[in-house]
């Protein structure tokens, strides 16, 4: 089966998909990752519209999707070893 690459159709749609993922990452507080993906997507989209850039955009779209997956979010929400949450005051004070 032959793959048909149409830069005028494929790249804008892929770029939009990457930016949608970036938006969701930002909304979930993953701003550093979102900024990195956006920067790399902009670079890929701004250069030659060819299959290499299409592959880069596909990779960035997939990276954003993986970062948004429930498994990654669950792992990322754990505290690092040795870190503990601050206990809530039990005497009714605010702790300040």
Question: For 3-61, what is each residue's pLDDT tens digit?
Answer: 688 988 999 999 999 999 999 999 999 999 999 999 999 999 999 999 999 999 999 99
Distance CA 75, CA 72 (A): 5
Residue 94 domain-assigned?
no
Q: Which residues of 7-43 are buried (b: 16+ CB within 10 A; e: fewer)?
A: eeebbeebbebbbebbeebeeeebeebbeebbebbee
The total of structural domains in the chain comes to 1
Domain residues for the domain of 18 are: 7-76
Q: What does the DSSP 8-state code read for residue 36?
A: H
pLDDT given at position 34 = 98
With 0.85 as the threshold, say if the pTM is over it.
no
Residue 40, both tokens: 């790399």
Residue 22 domain-assigned?
yes
Residue 81 domain-assigned?
no
Residue 35 domain-assigned?
yes
């Amino acid at each position: 089966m032959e793959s048909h690459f149409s830069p005028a159709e494929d790249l804008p749609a892929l770029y939009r998909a990457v930016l949608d993922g970036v938006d969701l990452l930002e909304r979930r507080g993953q701003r550093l990752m979102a900024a990195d993906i956006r920067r790399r997507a902009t670079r890929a989209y701004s250069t030659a519209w060819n299959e290499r850039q299409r592959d880069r955009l596909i990779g960035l779209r997939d990276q954003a999707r993986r970062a948004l997956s429930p498994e990654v979010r669950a792992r990322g929400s754990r505290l690092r070893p040795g870190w503990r949450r601050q206990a809530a005051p039990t005497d009714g004070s605010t702790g300040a």
